[in-house]
Structure 1
Amino acid sequence: MTPNNKQPSENGKQQDLTYIQKVWNTVAIVALLVVVILIARVAFNVLLMVLAGVLISVYFHGFGDMIQRRTKWSRRICMLISVGGSFIILAVLFWFMGTKISNQIAVLSDSLPNTVRTAKLKMAETPLGNKVLGYLSDDNSDQLFATAKQFFNTSFGVLGDLYIILFLAIFFTTSPNLYKDGIIKLMPASKKELGKCVIDRISLALKGWLKGMMLSMVLVFILLTIGLSIMNIPVALVLALFTGLLKLIPNFGSLAAMIPGVLLALTISTNTAIIVALIYMVTQTIVSYIVTPLIQKRMIDLPPALTILAQVLMGTLSGVLGVVLAVPLLAIVMILVDELYVKKIDQGLSE
């Protein structure tokens, strides 16, 4: 009887130990998954910074190509002029426009409380405005600011990210073949030609996107500066510059940039606000639907709904940097899918 009693108790202890071991294994697996997800998120932000550095490098090389075509100088001299000239142009622009822009920013910051107060009084006169004001109550506004703060958070802070992106761009600019050849060497011998084709196609698409985006930003800045100055809107230069920079964010950037301009115009009169809103919409329409498509012919055609979904997804994952780089990243994904999947299916059907 005694041995029989000991055997069930030993089996029970073994079952308890097995159960505890399973629990700890489960906890270890969950912890490992959490760590992997956190690392993947940080790694994804780093990849976005690499993409931003690549885009700046593409700009430098595109500018250098243009100089070389017109002058027939050596590649090294053209690239030095491209990089150095770009920084000199930025410095000159900030030198000539910096004082005026800083003065207008000071005026805007001083007049902003009165502008918001006047806009609230105007909005309170309509039922729809009352609903909007109710949504922008203290609790909702605090939640909105918290969301915006989280949206603008980055991996290393804004200045840290800019520092890393700038140095990556310089490294990619000085020796692009080193990184291109390194990627191709990682591929099997049978896929090296396909890898070169994909990289060249991605480079062409990014150049098209960059050309269209830069021209769009400059045109939006010029057109809005003229239109807002004609309407005697205060701080027209700052508003136009703000709108040009937000052109980096398709769809949502244009809407966000229009809000401060319309609010300032609303302090003058309702009719002025309507006219200013029309100036914003006409400018954005001309640039987005006429000028930009002519420049971005070489870029892959992206469905608008897919672009918006990519922006929302990237904004959720990586904040403002993800939204800015959503379109070029989507273009890269579309090219990879087309080259690695769609064309193989079409070849198989043709055979």
Structure 2
Amino acid sequence: MAAEKPDSAQGDLNLFTRKVWITMGIITLIVLLTFILKAAFNVLLMVFAGALIAVYFHGLGNLLQRKIKLSHRWCVLIGVLITLLLVGFLFSFLGAKISTQVSELSKDIPAILEDVKGRLNGSEVGRKILYYFSDGNSSKMMNSFQDVFRTSFGVVGDVYIILLIGIFFTVNPGLYREGIIKLIPTAGKNRARAVIKRLDFTLKGWLKGMLIAMLFISILSFIGLSIINVPMALALAFFAGLLNFIPNFGPLIAMIPAVLIGFTESANTALVIALLYILIQTIESNIITPTIQNVMIKIPPALIIISQVLFGTLTGGLGIILATPLLVVVIVIVDELYVKRQLDT
């Protein structure tokens, strides 16, 4: 009996070792699956971005078709050419100037922050603000502002792949649409066609409204900043219009460099610039956004923030940029496949 105890202890040790290895294997598998799913989700986001490009071109083609009465294919082609000409115009006439101003602003940010720090030291409230950032956060903020300025003027992600996917989706959307429908069981094919049709209509309306809002913000920002005589007004206005594509966070990010530049003139100038941005965003929120919502669907603001935080945490910048259209897709799918079915029942 005494000889069996070591064997029993050895067996327990072997069992424990196996359990440890199994646990480590499961954890490793979960980690690997998480990385794979994250990478796959990034790819899906790029596919979705390409689909948005195709939706834009076909929406522009529909608009032209109502005006010039040509076939849809020719109108899409004309829409692509018009877009390329507009982009070429922006790059040739405005691109060089904007690029120069952005480069100058990026280089000036450290000096601007130092100047703001010196001005804040001149008041009691300013010294309290600096006290909260005295642990080295100011240098982190400076780096963050520079990174934002360097990366916000290009699409975060692989632009080439997104554009290539967008071109393929634009040339033959029916091929991919029918390919998705073929994966659906026979009983659900009609419902799937209805969902895709509504998604197409809703995303076109959303894109139309967003482009109008971005143009509106750019023009008003340029006019307002030029009246105040703010340096680099063109770059700041372009930046404000571009970032308006990102609800909630975009306008706030766009306002920061403008206010910092205002601080180099005076605190009153910075305050006027902040009030200008707030006024423009208020007008946009109360006029442009309701028009967009009448075309598409009403989205609760809290859901937009939640989706931005969620997708931003999962995939970074591209997730934040595409959070709102992704939320639109989710709402439409839930409404078509669940809410309407419950009402029918």
The two structures have a TM-score, normalised by structure 1, of 0.88
Matched, 1:326 2:329: no
Deviation, structure 1 residue 87: 1.5
Deviation, structure 1 residue 150: 10
Alignment CA distance shift 1:12-1:299 (3 Å): same
Q: 1:237-278: CA deviations, max 9, x gaps? A: 011001111111111111111111122222223332222222
**Equivalent in the alignment of 1:182:** 179
**Equivalent in the alignment of 2:295:** 298
Alignment CA distance shift 1:36-1:17 (3 Å): same
**Equivalent in the alignment of 1:229:** 226
2:122 alignment partner, SS class: coil
Amino acid at match of 1:67: L
State how far apart, in whole Å, the 2-side matches of 1:325 and 1:50 are: 11
Over aligned residue pairs, what C-alpha RMSD do you find? 2.7
Equivalent residues of 2:156, 2:318 under 8 A apart = no
Which deviates further from its counterpart, 265-274 or 105-114? 105-114
Amino acid at match of 2:321: V
Which deviates further from its counterpart, 10-19 or 303-312? 10-19
**Equivalent in the alignment of 2:14:** 17
**Equivalent in the alignment of 1:71:** 68
- Describe how 1:1-351 pairs up with structure 2 within 5 A: 10-109=7-106, 111-137=108-134, 139-141=136-138, 161-348=158-345
Alignment CA distance shift 1:150-1:88 (3 Å): closer
Equivalent residues of 1:50, 1:168 under 8 A apart = yes
State how far apart, in whole Å, the 1-side matches of 2:80 and 2:336 are: 33
Which deviates further from its counterpart, 65-74 or 5-14? 5-14
State how far apart, in whole Å, the 1-side matches of 2:144 and 2:276 are: 30
1:297 alignment partner, SS class: helix
Alignment CA distance shift 1:318-1:116 (3 Å): same
Deviation, structure 1 residue 210: 0.7
State how far apart, in whole Å, the 2-side matches of 1:72 and 1:158 are: 34
The two structures have a TM-score, normalised by structure 2, of 0.90
- Structure 1 vs Structure 2: percent identity of aligned residues? 49
Equivalent residues of 2:61, 2:75 under 8 A apart = yes
Deviation, structure 1 residue 128: 3.6
Equivalent residues of 1:151, 1:315 under 8 A apart = no
Alignment CA distance shift 1:13-1:303 (3 Å): same
Q: 1:125-168: CA deviations, max 9, x gaps? A: 3344323323434632455578789999x9xx967611111111
Alignment CA distance shift 1:71-1:184 (3 Å): same
2:158 alignment partner, SS class: helix
Runs of 5+ unmatched residues, structure 2: none
Alignment CA distance shift 1:137-1:51 (3 Å): farther
